[in-house]
Amino acid sequence: MSDARPNNGSGRTVAKLLLVVVGMFGFGFALVPAYQVFCEVTGFNGFVSNEAASQPLEEIDSDRRVTVEFVSTVNQNHPWRFQAQERRMEVQPGRLYTAYFEIENLRGSSSVTQIIPSVAPGTAGRHFQKTECFCFTEQTFGGGETRKMPVTFYIDPALPDRTSTVTLSYTLFDLEAGDAPEIDEEAASLHVGAR
């Protein structure tokens, strides 16, 4: 007759594997906030502040030109017209510029919007400084109302020389239609006046 004993080694192996799975699951959850902090600190992934930056210093790099492209989209194709008056602008780092966007509410009723910016390449996010922007606050539009809205900005002269084109993108969220953009106010405050 054979001696049948329970195999405690396989029970330990299963327990260790379960511990590894739980650890990996927890690590996956921890990565999201860690990545957000990384983006906030470095400006990576196009993170830009949603608050006004300070005015630029008198430091203007008059020998350098950077092309700024403007892109605008409406989330979920809601009935809005949203476009930049100029598709691109050539700027000198350190100099203040103003670009205009035209927004029209094509709905028959009033609505509230929140417009969220991003910058590409992502590493240029902390060098793109807005001193005035319609994206800082929610905007209320009457039915059929059209508005020309400014964004005043400058490119920090510390923008790496290898970056010759920066794209400022805006996405319009129609709050009345149930759009809910995710804005991390604490993260945005980290970039106020970042130079």
**pTM for the structure as a whole:** 0.66
For residues 76 and 124, the answer to whether their CB atoms sit within 8 Å is: no
How far from 102 is each of 69, 97, 114, CA to CA, in Å?
Answer: 16, 17, 15
Which pair of structure tokens corresponds to residue 45?
Answer: 């992934």
pLDDT at 148: 97
- Is residue 20 in a domain? no
**What is the Cα–Cα distance from 156 to 93, expressed in whole angstroms?**
6
Residue 19 lies in a domain: no
Q: Is residue 13 part of a domain?
A: no
Is 135 within the bounds of a domain?
yes
Q: How far is CA 79 from CA 3, 75, 104, 178, in A?
A: 77, 10, 9, 13
Contact yes or no for 130/49 (Cβ under 8 A): yes
- Indicate which CATH number applies to the domain containing 168: 2.60.370.10
Domain count, the chain: 1
> For each successive 10 residues of the chain (195 residues), what is the average pLDDT?
60 79 63 48 47 62 95 92 96 96 94 94 91 93 96 94 96 87 53 38
Q: Is residue 21 part of a domain?
A: no
Domain membership of residue 23 (yes or no) is no
pLDDT at 64: 95
Per residue in 36-61, is it b (16+ CB within 10 Å) or e — as a string?
Answer: eeebbeebebbbbbbeebeebeeeeb
Q: What is the pLDDT of residue 37?
A: 46
Domain span holding position 141: 43-189
**166 occurs within a structural domain:** yes
pLDDT for residue 30? 55
* Residue 26 belongs to some domain of the structure: no
Q: How far apart are CA 33 and CA 178, in angstroms?
A: 25
Q: What angle do CA 151, 65, 102 make, to 5 degrees?
A: 25
Neighbouring-strand partners of residue 150: 100
